């Protein structure tokens, strides 16, 4: 049985590579929930810690998470770095969620109205 596990097991190196690739390659698309993105990033961090990767300092994780955010979070990133905040990863995600709330309200208020195309049959029925 032990031989079977050795034969079909995925080497730790492949798993570490896949996790670091997913972590460093993660990008949040504009308009998606920062809470969901944060939870996904925290999950990847926990997996990387479990695999004993070389990222011991929280700063490295914070930097990658901040780099994964869309441009609408640029002001948050500037303020975070300017004020040299040192937060845990959970505190960082909470700050991002708090920052996102006013952005969503602004986008809803400032969003252009959708113009429905006028149907030719509607025009024809109005002419009759």
Please say whether the beta carbons of 30 and 70 come within 8 A: yes
Specify the pLDDT at position 75: 92
Q: State the maximum Cα–Cα separation within the chain, in Å, rounded to a whole number.
A: 83
Specify the pLDDT at position 120: 40
Domain boundaries, the chain: 2-127
For residue range 38-81, what is the model confidence (pLDDT) as tens digits? 999 999 988 888 888 777 778 888 999 999 999 999 999 999 99
What pTM did the predictor assign? 0.67
For residue range 74-118, what is the model confidence (pLDDT) as tens digits? 999 999 999 888 888 999 999 999 998 776 555 444 444 444 444
């Amino acid at each position: 049985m032990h031989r079977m596990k050795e034969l079909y097991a995925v080497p730790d190196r492949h798993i570490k590579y896949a996790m670091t690739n997913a972590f460093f390659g993660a990008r949040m698309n504009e308009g998606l929930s920062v809470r969901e993105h944060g939870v996904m990033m925290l999950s990847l961090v926990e997996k990387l810690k479990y695999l004993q990767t070389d990222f011991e300092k929280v700063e490295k994780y914070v930097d990658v998470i901040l780099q994964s955010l869309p441009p609408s979070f640029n002001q948050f990133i500037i303020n975070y770095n300017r004020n040299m905040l040192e937060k845990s990863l959970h505190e960082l995600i909470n700050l991002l969620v708090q920052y996102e709330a006013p952005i969503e309200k602004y986008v809803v208020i400032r969003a252009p109205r959708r113009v429905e195309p006028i149907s030719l049959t509607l025009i024809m029925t109005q002419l009759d």
